[in-house]
Chains A and B, each alone.
Chain A
């Protein structure tokens, strides 16, 4: 049996090139949805977990991972969607949070800071870094984003939901 001649670290590097289809500046690795990478003989197995169970981008992510790894010469790719490790916004890397901010989204606050969502009334505006803001709706254009308004910038913005 032919062995895949690569390392787990290298696979993670390749996966850095696969972006969240809804937020194209954020890689799947930085988003924290890759919960396991395993090399099994000629096969590479990837465990992928959804941010939200109803995320419609899962199939796209699955296909893009497969295409990327095949383009790097991996003969066989198996992507399994799993709830084994439930995704949390804590999984977003520091690099990922920076990318979100540059893209115009407020990164999620640490979910350890609150026990009740009622205190999510304000968020840090990604434009002015101010907190003179208010939540307009806990639901936004995608399942993982909420809508806020900055009273200083007089502009709406989105926050990646803490989960």
Chain B
């Protein structure tokens, strides 16, 4: 009798560990993919920025984000996934878990700036929340990213405040981009099927909590400008990215990003 009880307990334990690992991997993948894809989009500004300083800023933020994706893919590798290069360069669009927001083309600078503001504010809060995660390896990288991201949010805030109070053209361009970006930005907080476990195990306090904190921060900066936050309660968030349902823009990005890698996979550089 006791023997069978033990066996059952043992199986329960295994199930719990497996479930937790699946939930954790899903969380890591979506964050790593967001950083990689937006990092790549940011890098498309290299050589094309409207000012030299902005060219450097978007290039530096690209480098930071790709560095973050590497650190997160490394955590996944430690959990049994393939090595970071294979994971980054050999999957197809439907195997990526980034939000649709991050894969949208850069368009003009105003759209890139609005996306940078909306995304990086969420990203900074996300890693702030994760800095106390019960999964210590994740908490460690989150504490690392947190300091770096202060430079990203500073950059976004400075430009949004400045251009959001400047000329009619700058204000109307930003407002138009903000209206267009908002449903996609809300898609960042698409809930994971493992939300309850992540919260319950103290791994991550959850998308709902993140969204709440994000709205407060966004409103705080926008209140210093003449820009108006769209009524998010009536907007339909653009979701699906977390489960591999992407726009037509992702696959061409991946093809370009992995072009060199695919020439000779496994080449030593």
Contact = CB atoms under 8 A, between A and B. Distances in A.
Contacts of A137: 53, 56-57
Interface string B234-267: 0000000000000000000000000000000000
From A52, A88, A120, name the one whose CB has the most chain B CB atoms within 10 angstroms.
Answer: A52
B60 A53 contact: no
B64 interface: yes
A139 B68 contact: no
Nearest to B145: A53
B151 A53 contact: no
Interface SS of chain A: loop
Interface stretch (B94-102, B136-144, B176-184): B136-144
A53 B64 contact: yes
B194 interface: no
B61 A118 contact: no
Interface in B56-91: 56-57, 59-61, 63-68, 70-71
Nearest to B62: A54
B160 to A, nearest CB: 13
B79 to A, nearest CB: 16
B140 A143 contact: no
A123 interface: no
Given A53-B64, A53-B67, A54-B67, A138 B141 contact: no
Contact of A139 (B137, B144, B151): B151
A55 B65 CA distance: 11
Contact of B144 (A53, A117, A120, A140): A53
Nearest to B67: A54
B141 A83 contact: yes
A118 B151 CA distance: 10
A138 B154 contact: yes
Interface residues of B, number: 26
A56 B59 CA distance: 13
B209 interface: no
Given A53-B141, A54-B65, A143 B60 contact: yes
Contact of A83 (B56, B61, B140, B154): B140
B147 interface: yes
B145 to A, nearest CB: 6
From B59, B71, B137, B147, name the one whose CB has the most chain A CB atoms within 10 angstroms.
Answer: B147
A21 interface: no
A134 interface: no
A67 to B, nearest CB: 18
A52 B56 CA distance: 16
Nearest to B66: A54
Interface string A81-111: 0011011100000000000000000000000
B6 to A, nearest CB: 36
Interface in A43-86: 50, 52-56, 83-84, 86
23 contacts: A52-B64, A52-B148, A53-B67, A54-B63, A55-B67, A56-B63, A83-B140, A84-B140, A86-B143, A117-B151, A118-B154, A136-B53, A137-B53, A138-B151, A138-B155, A139-B53, A139-B59, A140-B60, A141-B56, A143-B63, A147-B53, A161-B151, A163-B147
Interface of B: 53, 56-57, 59-61, 63-68, 70-71, 137, 140-141, 143-145, 147-148, 150-151, 154-155
